[in-house]
Structure formats: C-alpha cells, structure tokens
Structure 1
C-alpha cells in the first residue's frame, strides 16, 4: 500500500506530536523525524479555524438519525433505506477518506478543506428539498466529503502549522469534534419543530452553519497558500500488515466501534422511540452517548501513556457496549440515561484505537501503513453493520433483534480490543 507523510499524522495523539524544535532524529527510537514547520498563522486565527471546522465535521451525519423516520417516510422508503443512510458516514469516511492525500497534494491541505466545505454547504442546503430519495442519498454523500477529508487533513494541518501550540490545538480539535457530534443529535428534533416538513429546516440549518468554516478557512488560505508538507526521507519497512495480529486487531477494534457509533446515531433514536421514549429525549440520549466521546478523547491518551495493563481496559469497553444494549433490551424505560452512559463509556474504544496506532509502532512509516489500513478499511467494514441492522429491522419489524445484533458486535469489540491492548509492536510482527 502506498503511503504518504499524511497517513501517520491524523492518528498521532497530542502526547506523541513532535515538538517544534529542529531535532532531526528521535533519540528513543533512532528513526528519522521530519522537522516541524514553524507556525504561519496566529494562535487566535488557528484556534478559530480549528473550532469552526471541528464543530462541522459530524452534525451533517449525526443530525439525520433522530429524524430518520420522517425522512424515509417522506420518500416512501422503509427500514432498508434507514440502514443505508446510517451506513453512509462509514462508507464515505472510508472511501472518500482515501482521496484526502491525492487532493491535498494538488491544492494543499487548506485549499482541499476550503473546496470540500464549499461542496458541503451546497449539498446540505439542497439535500432536504431533493425530489427523489436517490438524489437525497447522492447529496448526502457529497455532504460527507468535507468531513471525510477533514478526518485526515485537519490533524495533519495542526501538526504542520501548530508549532509549539500543536498539543493545545489537538485538544481543542478533539473537544469540538465531540461537541459537534452531540449537537447534531441533540438539536435535530428541536430544530425541526412541529411542522410537517420541519426536518427540512433542521437539516438545512447545518448547511447555513457550515458557511462559517468556509469563510474562516478561505481567509486562512490567504496566509498559508499551497501547504502540502514535504516528502519524508526515502525508505520503508517491508512485510505485510496482514502478518501482524496486532494490526488486524486494531482494524477490527476500529471497525466494531465505528459500526456501533453510526448505528447508534442512525437507528437508536427510532429504537428508543419504539420503546416509548419521546423523539426529543431519544435525540438527547444519543447526544449523551456522543458526548462521552469528549471525555474519552481527553482521558485515554494519558491512560495509554501511563498504564501498562491495557488489554483489560480496551476489552472492557466492548463488554460495556454489550451491557448497554442488554440494558436497553431488558429495561428500556427504567433508566435510559444509565444505558446511554454505559454505551458512551464503551465508546471510549474509538479514541483508544486512534491513540494505539502510534503506540503499537516504533517506526513512523509503519505507523503510516497501519493508519492507512485501520481507518479507511475499518470504516468500510463498519458500514456493513448499519445495513445489516436495517435489513434485520425490515425483515423482523423487531428493534430487539437489532439490539441483540449490536450486543454481539460488542463481544467482537471486546475480543479485538483485548488483543490490541497487549504490549506487542507491529514492527516486530511484520518483520518476524
């Protein structure tokens, strides 16, 4: 698999980001380090840019789930359509994310983000008024282009332009990403109101908000110009990643957590509504699950750096995921907030998997190759889950069957997470 300097950048936790000094060699590993580029924009503009784009990377996806019944009903569609719309973010992040490096190589990191978000604004504004379901799906894919590129390019942009402020900007990015995801789910129903076509206004709201990062990043572009980073020194460690049990475990961990996250965003509101919970409260509960991602993003990089017995922690997130679904099965109305919190803590598997990519590799080129396998292909595998969940719901009409399916994926997550948490290095496994 061909890699680039960007492939390893998005997955580095803040604690692993190189400082802005001129050091060319990592004294701990002996591997080459590319000198960090000095900051080209001020801290206020950098913080504003990161805040505005991070807040807009998730609402276009998470704002659909609480309105799913109204959307598919308006187009005369059924449960399979719900599963398809739920799977789209995973498919887009996986497939379109592979375009991030080629596009940014041509127009720069900043230029790629500006162009992508111009398309996002157009797609989000036109999507609700499209006359056919196929057009709605097509515009949804276009609306996810910006987030798909942003997942890869924004952390790379921070590393390139952040300088001594890189850690702070990465923390800001993680926080705002979680806030945006939660806001999309929590505000979907209130923004729709009581009108028959209120879901139009709710979805279009995020198109109007997405104008803000376009304006801010267009100004940033005047300061950065073409800002694709230079190529690293030649040389790459050989060996297939398929020979590494740790690499495979990380990919499965990533895919199972993403499968659960986007099925939760897309279908859990409907499942909670069928259990007797009001639509607005169902949206808030899904927002609570997403909001726990904020805590996980802040806590897990430090835990990984300081705790050696990670296998029980990472495996435990899968167990918690299964426990949350079983709670919704056995007592859906008794304490839905409790089950939402359990599922939210189980979702710590996502920031953990991201942080383990550099933690389980020594050479940065291996990190790049591992990232290039785990994220895009993990998202593509994750997209199967919502489609299966939608098909199960359509065939049986029972939300309980979907919950049992998701509970089973939690056990797969537990097993993969346990293996990924073992203190093994991918470098050693592919070289042996």
Structure 2
C-alpha cells in the first residue's frame, strides 16, 4: 500500500459538513461535556442533606468524572466502528441529557449515582470522539473547530461551577434546578447532531476502519502516541489536583474561602486565553519545544511558590499555574495534529484521554491520603513539581511534527 504522507488530505476529503453547522454542533457538544460534572461540587452539601449521602459516598462522587471518563472512553472507538463517529456522538449526547435530567427527579442516593454515571458515560463518548469527528469533517477549518471546542470546554466548566450555588439558593427546586439546567442545555445540541446523523448515514468513511491502520493495530506501538498519553495524563492530573485541593492549600495558608475560590477561578480564566491560542500554535509551529519548556517551568514555579510563600503573593502563583495549564488545550490539539487519518485520530483519542482521566481521578484521591498522613502540603507540592517534570519531558517528545500513522506503519 502506498502511504499518504499528506497530513491534510483526510481533512480536506472529510469536509462534508458545512462550516456553520459544524461549528454549531461542536460548540453545543462541548457545552454538554463539563457543566454536568463541575456543578456537583458547589452543591454537595445540599445533596448530602437531601439524599443522606455519606462523606465517603461524596468522595466517590467527586472522583467519578475522571474515573468514568477513563473507563467508558476506552470503548468509544469500538462504538464508532459500529455506528460511525457522528452516530456515536449523537448517542453520547442523548445519554448525557437522559442522565443529567433523570438524576434531578430521584430521592435515592443509589439512583442519583447511577444517573450521574450515565450522564458521565455520555460525556466520555464525546471526549474521545469529538477530535476524530473534527478531523474527519472539519475540512480546512480543523484548527478553528478545535479552538472553539477547547474554549467551550473551559468556559462551560467554569460556568457550571460558578452558577450552581446561586441557582440552588434562589431557584425553585434548589440543587435539582442547579443540576437539571445542564441537562436542558445539553438537549439544545440534539437537533444539529440529529441532522448530521441523518445526513451522514450513507457516509461509509464515517464508520469504516482506517485504510491506514488495521483494527487490531495498537497505538502503544507508536512512541508519539505513548508520549501524548503521558503528556495528557500529567496535565490532567495537575488540573484535577488544582480543582480539588488548591483552594485548601490557600486556606491553610490563611486566605479566606472567598479569596481561595477567586484564585482558582483566576486559573480557569487564564486557561480560556490558552484555549484561543494553543490549537493554532500546535498546528503551525515547526518546533514546540520552547513552549513546552516554558509551560513546564511556569508550572514548577507556581507549585514552588505555594511551597515557600503561599500567602505572600498568592495571585502570582495562580497566574503561573494558569499559564502552565495551557497544556490542556495544547494536548487536545495534538490529538488531531499528530495523526493523519480520522480513524487513527479516534484510536489515539481513545487511548490518550481514558489514560489521562484515570490519572485525573486517582491523583486527587492520593493527594488527600498524603495530606492526611503528613498533616501538610510539603510532600504534595514537591510531588506536583515532579509531575510537571514528567509532563515536560513527555511533551518534548511531541515537539516536532511526527505522526502516529507513520510510526505504526513503520513498525507493522
């Protein structure tokens, strides 16, 4: 077989969807993939009081997004082979809507956890399949669509956590309204994805096995895919530790709960800026090494600042960690930028994201164990600096333009 070394051929050939419809579909899908998870934490007290949720169960609930994204994301590619990328995303969105709405009507802890798991499973399908769908159907707009996708993920996640408590306090229904609104928001995306699924039902390339990679091929044979998995995993672990524990680091240093929450929001806001910049940088830069070094140094400096003087200039450490956190949208963009064929993109995404979210689920739990065992943050902060070192080293393996497809065929 003659190997196609043109990384844009599949994107051009796959541009079967109008750019306006593609943009609307991607934005609405991305808006459904985070708020249903990030809105739970701010109303966990109301949930515990109403449903009788124990502290242990509450801990499981906070770890559930990362662990579900890991477990269910791993089967997303197999599903897409049967019903197509578009069909798989439509199914995922339906599951998100069903799970998020159903949990607002339950009075049982078990039922609430089951419905939450259902909604998170749908989000996991979206996590894995959206980059591959963009690669297949984005045409010449892949970078623009990846930018819109990454920014919407970040913004919607922040909005979900920001408005949950005010809605619970002021809207009829309390926490049920605060969580249910995201099921209704996700439902807005059903119309465009249903149109796309009907339009593309005859598009065999949307579901066929890759012409470049046999279904039995393992992406673990690609050094680029493995490096991307480690890079994504280290940044995901870092981000979820920040979400779960950074406010407590600041509060233990003497800051108020309001100030600690504002500093975490600052990190999220800085991340949105990276969402606009990173996809274009990843797509066009011939060598990403200077940026990778910079992100690693910023992250290490942020953790080091929290170690030596957490309350002296707390905004500076948040600024450093926020800029270092641009690795999230960089890693997402690399999934499409380091693969040629859309179905290879799906395979890479199906390995990278479940692995990363597994670490994202385990990381905060381990931090809690270490914090309780040591009574402070010194060991945790040194460990997080070590995570940043591993992230940097794996990112340097991705700095030059290499493709998973090529490595797999060279090793076939």
- Scaled by the length of structure 1, the TM-score of the pair is 0.76
Distance in 2, Cα, partners of 1:34 & 1:43 = 13
Query: What are the residue-to-residue correspondences of 1:109-128 with 2, within 5 Å?
Result: 109-127=85-103
- State whether residues 186 and 283 of structure 1, in contact with CA within 8 Å, keep that contact through their aligned partners in structure 2: no
Judged with a 3 Å threshold, the aligned counterparts in structure 2 of structure 1 residues 274 and 200 are, in CA distance, closer, same or farther, namely farther
Q: Bigger CA drift: 284-293 or 340-349?
A: 284-293
One of 146, 155, 166 as aligned partner of 2:131: 155
SS in structure 2 at match of 1:144: helix
CA displacement, residues 18-64 of structure 1 (integer Å, 9 cap, x when unaligned): xxxxxx984658x9858624535x54443332222212211122223
The aligned counterpart of 2:16 is 39
Q: Give yes or no for the alignment of 1:289 onto 2:285.
A: no
The aligned counterpart of 1:4 is none
Gaps of 5+ in 2: none
Judged with a 3 Å threshold, the aligned counterparts in structure 2 of structure 1 residues 295 and 132 are, in CA distance, closer, same or farther, namely same
Judged with a 3 Å threshold, the aligned counterparts in structure 2 of structure 1 residues 136 and 193 are, in CA distance, closer, same or farther, namely same
- State whether residues 241 and 247 of structure 1, in contact with CA within 8 Å, keep that contact through their aligned partners in structure 2: yes
- State whether residues 58 and 180 of structure 1, in contact with CA within 8 Å, keep that contact through their aligned partners in structure 2: yes
Distance in 1, Cα, partners of 2:171 & 2:374 = 31
- State whether residues 63 and 184 of structure 1, in contact with CA within 8 Å, keep that contact through their aligned partners in structure 2: yes
One of 349, 359, 366 as aligned partner of 1:388: 366
- State whether residues 97 and 187 of structure 2, in contact with CA within 8 Å, keep that contact through their aligned partners in structure 1: yes
Judged with a 3 Å threshold, the aligned counterparts in structure 2 of structure 1 residues 287 and 63 are, in CA distance, closer, same or farther, namely farther
Judged with a 3 Å threshold, the aligned counterparts in structure 2 of structure 1 residues 194 and 371 are, in CA distance, closer, same or farther, namely closer
- State whether residues 181 and 287 of structure 1, in contact with CA within 8 Å, keep that contact through their aligned partners in structure 2: no
Query: What are the residue-to-residue correspondences of 1:329-344 with 2, within 5 Å?
Result: 329-344=307-322
- State whether residues 51 and 172 of structure 1, in contact with CA within 8 Å, keep that contact through their aligned partners in structure 2: yes
Distance in 2, Cα, partners of 1:153 & 1:194 = 37
Q: CA deviation at 1:258?
A: 0.8
Judged with a 3 Å threshold, the aligned counterparts in structure 2 of structure 1 residues 303 and 151 are, in CA distance, closer, same or farther, namely same
RMSD (Å), alpha carbons: 4.1
Judged with a 3 Å threshold, the aligned counterparts in structure 2 of structure 1 residues 282 and 211 are, in CA distance, closer, same or farther, namely farther
Gaps of 5+ in 1: 1-23
Q: CA deviation at 1:385?
A: 0.7
Q: Give yes or no for the alignment of 1:51 onto 2:40.
A: no
Q: CA deviation at 1:312?
A: 4.5
Distance in 1, Cα, partners of 2:87 & 2:339 = 31
Distance in 2, Cα, partners of 1:403 & 1:70 = 31
- Scaled by the length of structure 2, the TM-score of the pair is 0.79
- State whether residues 48 and 54 of structure 2, in contact with CA within 8 Å, keep that contact through their aligned partners in structure 1: yes
Q: CA deviation at 1:255?
A: 0.7
SS in structure 1 at match of 2:208: coil
The aligned counterpart of 1:207 is 183
SS in structure 2 at match of 1:137: helix
- State whether residues 131 and 335 of structure 2, in contact with CA within 8 Å, keep that contact through their aligned partners in structure 1: no
Q: CA deviation at 1:257?
A: 0.7
Judged with a 3 Å threshold, the aligned counterparts in structure 2 of structure 1 residues 205 and 336 are, in CA distance, closer, same or farther, namely farther
Judged with a 3 Å threshold, the aligned counterparts in structure 2 of structure 1 residues 110 and 261 are, in CA distance, closer, same or farther, namely same
The aligned counterpart of 2:246 is 268
Distance in 2, Cα, partners of 1:405 & 1:274 = 18
CA displacement, residues 149-205 of structure 1 (integer Å, 9 cap, x when unaligned): 112223333344444544433332232222212212332333333799944432233
SS in structure 1 at match of 2:189: helix
